[in-house]
Amino acid sequence: MPAHIAVLDFGSQYTQVIARRIREAKVLSRIYSYKTTAAEMRAAGVCGIILSGGPSSVLAEASPRPDAAVFEMGIPILGICYGEQLMAHMLGGQVAHSKEREYGHGTLSINQKSRLFEGLPDTLRVWNSHGDRIEQLPDGFAAVASTENSPYATIEDASRNFYGMQFHPEVAHSEMGMEVMANFLFKICGISADWSMANYIEQSVQQIREMVGDEHVILGLSGGVDSSVAAALIHKAIGRQLTCVFVDNGLLRLHEREQVEKLYGDHFDLDVRVADERKRFLERLDGISDPEQKRKIIGNTFVEVFDEAVQDLKAHGNYTYLAQGTLYPDVIESVAIDGNPAALIKSHHNVGGLPEKMNLKLLEPLRELFKDEVRELGSQLGLPREVVWRQPFPGPGLGVRVMGPVREASLTVLREADAILHEEMMAADLYYKVWQSFCVFLPVKTVGVMGDERTYENVVALRIVESVDAMTADWARVPYDVLRTISNRIINEVTGCNRVVLDISSKPPGTIEWE
C-alpha cells in the first residue's frame, strides 16, 4: 500500500470515526488490529500512527497493548484517550485511576506552542470520556494543554513526534477537532491529501481479490442501497466469482423483481439467482394478523429459503464466503469480553447469524463506511440514482403494510396504489426530499359511489414522512394539489380501493410503519 496512516484499534466506539475524519481530510488510512507488529506496519507503508481510545484501563493486566517496537519506528504517533495513557504508561510515565470520571464537555486551555494546535485559538471546547488520568509524564514529554480536571490533557515529545490527548478530537462535539487532526496529518506526518473515493474503490478491489483468491462469494441482494453497493463493489473485484441471491417473498413492490433482474443481471452482468418463494411465504402467512407473528414468520422463512439457496450453490461450486453490506452504524457496540478489543465489536448480521450456521466466512467490504460514504461509493460504481438514493424499505416488505391477514388480493391493491404514489412523488420532485412515502392497505370497507353505482371497497392510507434518522419523524406537508392527484388516481385506477386517507401522526408517539 502507498504511504498511509495506521489507526491502531483498541476497541473504541470511535475508531471508525477517526478513520472517517482522516478520509474527510483526503488522506489514505487503514484500521489495524492493535496486535499488528511494527515490522508489519513498516512493510505495509505506514508513515504515522494513531492509537485509538478504548474501554480498557492501562492499569489492568490484560489490557491490550501495541507492539512496543512501534515507539522505535521513528514515525509520528498520536495517542487518543486510552491511546495517550498507553503511550504514557509504556514510555515510563504514571497513570492512575481518577477519582472523578471526566465525561462530556470540557474546556481545553493551550498553554504552550505545539504544532498540533497551530493556527487554533488558545481555548477550545472539547469532548472527554475517560476514567484514568496521567499522574506523571514519561521522560522527554511536556504538557501543552490542560482541562479543568486534567493538567495533561495534551502532551507531546516534539523531538520524537509523539503526541497524546485525553480528549476526542474525532467527535463532532470537539470544537476544531478536525483542524487538530489535520495538523497531525499534514504538519506532523507530512502526508499529502490525495485520497479519494476512487482510491477507496481501488484499495477495496485489491483487498477483496487478495482475500477471496479463486474462491466464490454469495451475497443476499435485497435491492436496497447497502446490499446493492456491496454487490457492485465485489463484482468489480471478482466478477462472476460473485453470485447474488434475490428472494422473491411475494411481498415486493410492483415490478421490483423485474427491475432487479434487469439492472443487476443485464446492466451490471451480475450472476443473480432469483429464488421464487412467493408461495411458501404467502402460505405461511395465511390467516395471520398479529404484526409480531408476521415479522417472525417472514424472518424465519427468509433464513430457511436463503439457507437452501446457499446449500444448493455450495453443492455446485467452491463457495466459501458470504458477503454482506454491513455498514459502520450496523456494527453494534458490545461489551468487552475479557478486555479483548478483538472480541468487542459484534457484527450485525443482516441475515441473522447465518454465516456460522452455513459454515461460510464473512466478507463485509462496507464495514468502515458511513451511509453517506456508501452512497457516494455507489454513485462512483455507476449505480443509478434510484438505487443510491432509494427510500428505506422494511425487511418484511409489504407484509407489514397490509394490515391484518396478508392476502394476494390485498397485496395487488397495495402494489398498484403504492406505484401511483411513487410516480406522483417523483413527478412532483418530492420523492427524494422526504424520508419515506408509501401506502398502507386497510382491511376496512367503506361505501362510495362511482358513476351511478354504489361501491363497497377497501381504504388505502398514505404515509409520507420527513425524518433524519427514523428515530423521530413528522408527516410531510405535501401540497394539497399533489395529494389530490394521488388520491384521484388511486381511486380511479386501482380496483378494490374507493377511499384514500392521509396519516398525519408524528413519531413518537406513532411509528413510521403501521405494523
Q: Which sequence positions are flagged as catalytic? A: 81, 168, 170
64's grid cell: 491490550
Verify binding: residue 470, ligand XMP, rule CB under 6 A: yes
Give 193-261 as a DSSP string: ----HHHHHHHHHHHHHHHHTT-EEEEE--SSHHHHHHHHHHHHHHGGGEEEEEEE-S-PPTTHHHHHI
Indicate the residue among 186 and 435 with the shorter CB distance to ligand XMP. 435
Q: Is 392 in the site for ligand XMP (CB under 6 A)?
A: yes
Minimum CB separation of residue 436 from ligand XMP in Å reads 6
Q: What torsion do the CA atoms of 37, 39, 42, 48 make, to the nearest 10 degrees?
A: 40
List the one residue out of 45, 163, 168, 164 whose CA is nearest residue 106: 168
d(CA 310, CA 360) in angstroms, rounded, equals 10
Give the shortest CB-512-to-ligand XMP separation in angstroms: 3
Q: Least CB distance from residue 313 to ligand XMP, whole Å?
A: 24
Separation of alpha carbons 308 and 323, rounded Å = 16
472 belongs to the binding site for ligand XMP (CB under 6 A): no
Answer yes or no whether residue 247 interacts with ligand XMP by CB under 6 A: no
Q: Is 507 in the site for ligand XMP (CB under 6 A)?
A: yes
In the complex with ligand XMP, which residue's Cβ is closer, 10 or 246?
A: 246
Q: Per rule CB under 6 A, is residue 395 in the interface with ligand XMP?
A: yes
Using DSSP's 3-state secondary structure scheme, residue 58 falls into coil
* Site mask for ligand XMP (CB under 6 A), range 251-270, x = bound: --------------------
Kindly list the distances between the CA atom of residue 1 and the CA atoms of 21, 139, 335, in Å, as whole numbers in the listed order. 20, 34, 33
- Our measurement of the distance from residue 434's CA atom to the centroid of its chain's CA atoms, rounded to an integer in Å, reads 20
Strand pairing report for 154-157 and 142-146: antiparallel
Number of chain residues interacting with ligand XMP (CB under 6 A): 11
Among 13, 154, 436, 458, binds ligand XMP (CB under 6 A): 436
CB of 222: closest distance to ligand XMP in angstroms?
A: 9
User: If binding is defined by CB under 6 A, does position 115 make contact with ligand XMP?
Assistant: no
Q: Report in angstroms how near the CB of residue 333 gets to ligand XMP at its nearest.
A: 20
Residue 359 binding ligand XMP, by CB under 6 A? no
Which stretch, 20-28, 134-142, 307-315, 391-399, contacts ligand XMP (CB under 6 A)?
391-399
Distances from the Cα of 416 to the Cα of 12, 116, 438, 503, angstroms: 47, 59, 11, 19
Phi first, then psi, for residue 511 (nearest 5°) are: -115, 170
**Looking at beta carbons only, is 144 or 245 nearer to ligand XMP?**
245
The footprint of ligand XMP on residues 272-311 (CB under 6 A) is 295
| 179 lies in the site for ligand XMP, by CB under 6 A | no
Grid cell listed for 217? 462469494
Scored b (16 or more CB within 10 A) or e, 407-423 reads beebbebbbbbbbbbbe
Nearest to 250 by CA among 388, 409, 392, 390: 409
Q: Which stretch binds ligand XMP (CB under 6 A): 57-65, 212-220, 480-488, 506-514?
A: 506-514
Q: Does 223 bind ligand XMP (CB under 6 A)?
A: no
- Rounded to a whole number of angstroms, the minimum distance from the CB of residue 412 to ligand XMP is 21
| Residues in touch with ligand XMP (CB under 6 A) | 295, 392, 394-396, 436, 470, 507, 511-513
